[in-house]
Structure 1
Amino acid sequence: MQSTQSVDIRAARPGDLAAVAEIYAHYVARTVVTFDEEPLSADAWRGKYDDLAARGLPFLVAAGPGDEIAGYAYAAPWRPKPAYRHTVEDTVYLAPGRTGQGLGGALLATLLEESAGAGVRQMIAVISDVDEAVGPASIALHARHGFKETGRLAAVGHKHGRWVDTVLMQRSLGAE
């Protein structure tokens, strides 16, 4: 567990999922950083939480005073085929107004550590590459944590009336 600016990075709890859903809904409605077009329901978040727990994969929150959730991160399976079982995709989101405070870095650092402890060997980041503050900031965040760009996919998403590219970044967590 890490602390940054009165925020603790800890394992998510079922009671945190409403705040997680609210944070995610902001990005679904207002940005192209996620390709979801409708916010996830509380049941969908509970299903994701339960699935990750069953797989032994980390789901973290940045919790502030009064257990206010300032952000979250989790590692989910990269692809469903069994040979990919040691590779995950990371997800990191911060509450509006909580960016630029080091929380994304604290969440990602803890996620990397806990994922390695769970037997993960490779972590993939799929980042929308657009002229918004979030895409370039996410690319820079991942680069600071040892991720290398491994590819770009052109115009693979269409949201809010525009085509969006993605940048693929990867980091090894285990011995080769």
Structure 2
Amino acid sequence: MEPGTVVLRAATADDIPAIAALYADEVRDHVATYEYDAPDAAEMLRRWRHLVDHGFPYVVAHLDGGFAGYGYAGPYRGRIGYQWTVEDTVYVRPDCHGRGVGRALLQRLIDDCAAMGFRQMVAVIGDGSNSASVALHERLGFQTVGVFRGLGRKQERWLDTVQMQRALGDGVATAPAGPAVNWPR
């Protein structure tokens, strides 16, 4: 494999320590997530298992042979009427930023979710000043549909939250054939 090639695959339980470590760094030191306390590996395993048991995609990326990031799609909201809409989540190790990892992860989630029959994907971007995440989503067809001012608070400051949206498959042009996954209740 050529150096710099991003390799994607479905996440497994063996990936959870690396996923938990990356997410812990985000929780502790950044504001992309509004979670205050970093969940341990056991909790991240529980969260991963909940999503994959319900059929949602959860993917890891490797770059130059090492773990580079992860992404998943999950329910946008809990009510059954939202069952054709997913929310994407992508985290990339800081030393892998700008190397195509985030784009590869997000494109894979878009493709997987469209193939599964989902009709909309929503990005909820913590910290409205996260221009890299906004630009990534824009490059892959998302449009900003709203900015919630001061919606979250972390690191002693109020944070805006950007919501972006992208149609998948037929979007709203046709009725869905059925539920895309075993919707978690």
1:162 to 2:157 alignment: yes
Mapping of 1:89-168 within 5 angstroms?
A: 89-131=87-129, 135-168=130-163
| Equivalent AA in structure 2 for residue 136 of structure 1 | S
Displacement of 1:34: 0.5
Q: Which has the larger radius of gyration?
A: 2
Contact 1:78/1:124, CA 8 A, preserved across alignment: yes
Matched, 1:28 2:27: yes
Aligned residue type for 2:147: R
Partner of residue 81, structure 1: 79
- State TM-score, norm by structure 1: 0.91
Note the aligned Cα RMSD (angstroms): 1.5
SS at match of 2:59: strand
Name 1:55's counterpart in structure 2.
Answer: 54
Structure 1: state its 5+ residue gaps.
none
SS of alignment partner, residue 34 of structure 1: coil
CA distance 1:104–1:125, change in 2 (3 Å): same
Q: CA deviation at 1:86?
A: 1.0
Q: Distance in 2 between matches of 1:4 and 1:81?
A: 44
User: CA contact under 8 A between 1:8 and 1:64: conserved in structure 2?
Assistant: yes
Counterpart residue type for residue 31 of structure 1: H
**CA drift at 1:6:** 3.1
Matched, 1:7 2:10: no
Paired residues, number: 170
Structure 2: where are the runs of 5+ without partners?
Answer: 173-185
Q: Work out the percentage of aligned pairs sharing the same amino acid.
A: 42
